[in-house]
């Protein structure tokens, strides 16, 4: 019997811990399309700023997975779920059977819907690889434009500023942090 967890984020790791509280013997397979062990996505801004190394973002030490009988399948994406066969199909066409399936893939960055957003020098900001690509680009430029006035967008803009770039922020709403605060609260922060 195996439990397959799709997604290498905090929810997947928390699921491993929860499962192990009630079931110590059955195999757990954690599948992530990223090549890195599960890490804290919310801290990639710190990696961008240079205050945290890549390894410090990892949610658990390597022995956590071994000690909890968790097989990590990294760098493979689940392309299809076959519920009638109780299998998932990976990007390399390999099928992995499961008794229990948990999908914990987290969020994805939104496209902004403007012409040219696919061009070189325009990045999403969600993964370690995104940070690596941005850091390569930072060495070649003096200014940046950040789209998004939420916590991640603002921290990314701050990280770019700490790297010496002049940064402008564009937001769709009428004020920053509109998803988590009212306008009056935001105005207090801006003072």
Can you give the pLDDT at residue 114?
83
Q: Do the beta carbons of residue 169 and residue 149 sit within 8 Å?
A: yes
Instruction: Report helix, strand and coil shares of the chain as percent, to nearest 5.
Output: 30, 25, 45
Can you give the pLDDT at residue 1?
67
CATH number of the domain to which 178 belongs:
3.50.50.60
State how far the Cα of 154 lies from the Cα of 177, in Å rounded to an integer. 9
Residues 48, 94 within the same domain: yes
Residues 29, 79 within the same domain: yes
Q: Is residue 113 part of a domain?
A: no
Residues 15, 74 within the same domain: yes
Confidence bin at 146 (pLDDT 50/70/90):
very high
Alpha helices in 26-170, H assignment, sequence order: 44-49, 62-67, 128-138, 151-162
Q: Do the beta carbons of residue 12 and residue 56 sit within 8 Å?
A: no
Average pLDDT, the chain: 92
Q: Is residue 80 part of a domain?
A: yes
- Paired strand residues for 80: 89
Radius of gyration, alpha carbons of the chain:
19
Can you give the pLDDT at residue 189?
79
Q: Which domain holds residue 31?
A: 2-103
Residues 47, 134 within the same domain: no
State the total domains in the chain.
Answer: 2
- With 0-12 / 13-18 / 19 or more C-beta atoms within 10 angstroms meaning exposed / middle / buried, residue 151 is middle
Residues 8, 68 within the same domain: yes
Residues 14, 93 within the same domain: yes
Residues 6, 95 within the same domain: yes
Q: Is residue 108 part of a domain?
A: no
Q: Is residue 119 part of a domain?
A: no
Residues 77, 31 within the same domain: yes
Q: Do the beta carbons of residue 159 and residue 49 sit within 8 Å?
A: yes
Residues 87, 135 within the same domain: no
Residues 95, 24 within the same domain: yes
Can you give the pLDDT at residue 110?
76
Which of these three, 67, 88, 103, is where a domain ends?
Answer: 103
Residues 96, 135 within the same domain: no
User: How does pLDDT run across 27-51, given as a tens digit for each residue?
Assistant: 999 999 999 999 999 899 999 999 9
Residues 17, 53 within the same domain: yes
User: How does pLDDT run across 86-140, given as a tens digit for each residue?
Assistant: 999 999 999 999 999 999 998 777 777 888 888 888 998 899 999 999 999 998 9
């Amino acid at each position: 019997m195996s439990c397959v967890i799709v997604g290498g984020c905090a929810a997947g790791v928390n699921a491993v811990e929860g499962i192990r509280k009630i079931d110590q013997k059955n195999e757990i397979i954690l599948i992530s399309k990223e090549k890195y062990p599960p890490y804290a996505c919310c801290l990639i801004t710190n990696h961008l700023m240079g205050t945290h190394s890549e390894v410090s973002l990892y949610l658990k030490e390597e022995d956590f997975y071994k000690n909890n009988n968790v097989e990590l399948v990294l760098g493979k994406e689940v392309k299809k779920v076959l519920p009638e066969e109780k299998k998932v199909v990976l990007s390399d066409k390999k099928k992995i059977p499961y008794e229990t399936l948990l999908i914990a893939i987290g969020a994805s960055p939104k496209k902004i819907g403007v012409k040219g957003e696919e061009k070189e020098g325009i990045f999403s900001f969600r993964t370690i690889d995104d940070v690596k690509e941005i850091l390569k680009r930072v060495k070649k430029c003096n200014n940046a434009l950040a789209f998004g006035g939420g916590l991640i967008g603002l921290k990314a803009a701050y990280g770019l500023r700490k790297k010496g770039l002049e940064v402008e922020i564009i937001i769709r709403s009428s004020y920053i942090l509109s998803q988590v605060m009212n306008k009056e609260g935001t105005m207090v922060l801006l003072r």
